Amino acid sequence: SAEINSVKADGVILLEMSTILNLLNNKIISKTEYVKHSWIQSPSLKILGLPIPIGPIAEAFINKFKPSLCKTIDENIAKSFDANAIKSKLDAFFANPLFTSDDNIIGLYASPSQFAIGPFSMQQDELIIPVMIDGEAVIAEKKPSDLINNLNFEIQPSYDNISELQIQSRVPMQYIEQLCREGVENQSYGSGLTKITVQKIKLNGYKETLQVRLHTLGAYDGELELSFIPRFNSSKKLIQLEEFRIASISGKKLDKTIFNLVQGIIQNKLKSTMEDFFNATIQDYVKSATKLLEGKEIMQTYTISGKLLDYNISNFAISDSRMYFNLVSKFSGQLSVKEF
């Protein structure tokens, strides 16, 4: 005779569940229901070497287990996705600039306005949630008081997984002017009878035109006004100053030699200094966004990742002693929740 205290049956089952998500007061409310199941490997049991059919027993166990499994899934979703906690962490994260210039004067300040989530999926031990984040940002010397958004959460049953961040440049002209002064002011160009010294430089503008006033001594003793129109080259992803013009405000008439000399100053110093600043600022944003989307843990077990897809710049304007332009970037993103 033999005494049997316990037995073990092996089998592999595929369960199909359906979960409906809703959002209430920034809390995820889920309702999971059993759909169907199928055996990948039928359950088998051997006692003393004899096969024992346990299909009906296994089916009864599954039927009994279904309600508690659905309840456990809903509890884990509610516990793993706390929208209020995510909102608090995002607000704290965006309270600081995403990047600053090398001299820590100019920074990119952002404020998300919408956080939408798409259909959940599971990958190994992680809950993967597609996210779409829309928001505004400003490039300036400090965070503007009007850059405040109440972050809203919503659920989108269908999605294209493309987020959008609208960035407005509000760089003070005085800051750009100082950069130009450091490279041009009190510098001499040419030699002998064609030597010109730039005594003073002043930046201004009207609508889309960037204007530079030069007070010069030497071969040209007077004041010159130079103008450019900034444009974004979408294929090269560069801001370029185009349609260069020069006019005499005071002093003698410009001859060809002086014109060529002044044009050389523009090309080698002023134009390159301003273009380098604009494009370095844009590249700082691209690098910061790329690094952030490589995987940033915004709170314990929550990681945002994705990819910068594209960006474009438009609507250049000079107003209120600031250089304005709009940068719109598109990116994909997802939120990974570990230990789900």
Percent with pLDDT over 70 in the chain: 86
Q: What is the mean pLDDT of residues 246-271?
A: 77
Please report the pLDDT score of residue 240 as a whole number: 93
Please report the pLDDT score of residue 5 as a whole number: 55
Q: What is the mean pLDDT of residues 77-81?
A: 72
Q: What is the mean pLDDT of residues 246-255?
A: 80
3-state secondary structure at position 243: strand
Strand-strand pairing, 126-140 and 163-172: parallel
- Cβ contacts of residue 99 below 8 Å, gap of 6+? 107, 108, 284, 285, 287, 288
* CA nearest neighbour of 30 among 88, 68, 81: 81
Please report the pLDDT score of residue 209 as a whole number: 92
Q: Give the number of other CB atoms < 10 A from CB of residue 262.
A: 23
* CB contact at 8 A, 140 and 170: yes
What would the pLDDT profile of 26-46 be if each residue is shown by its tens digit? 677 778 888 887 777 777 776
77 vs 217, more confident: 217
Instruction: Kindly report the length of the chain.
Output: 340
Please report the pLDDT score of residue 72 as a whole number: 84
Percent with pLDDT over 90 in the chain: 8
Residue 3 confidence (pLDDT) above 70: no
Please report the pLDDT score of residue 284 as a whole number: 86
* CB contact at 8 A, 191 and 153: no
pLDDT tier, 1 (very low <50, low <70, confident <90, very high otherwise): very low
Q: What is the mean pLDDT of residues 91-105?
A: 81
* CB contact at 8 A, 132 and 333: yes
What would the pLDDT profile of 146-167 be if each residue is shown by its tens digit? 887 777 777 776 666 678 888 8
Q: Which two tokens stand for residue 142?
A: 């400090």
Residue 56 confidence (pLDDT) above 50: yes
In the predicted model, what is the mean pLDDT of the chain? Answer: 80
* CB contact at 8 A, 246 and 220: no
Q: What is the value of pTM for the model shown?
A: 0.69
- Cβ contacts of residue 66 below 8 Å, gap of 6+? 34
Please report the pLDDT score of residue 167 as a whole number: 87
What would the pLDDT profile of 286-339 be if each residue is shown by its tens digit? 888 888 788 777 667 777 788 888 999 999 999 888 999 999 988 887 777 765
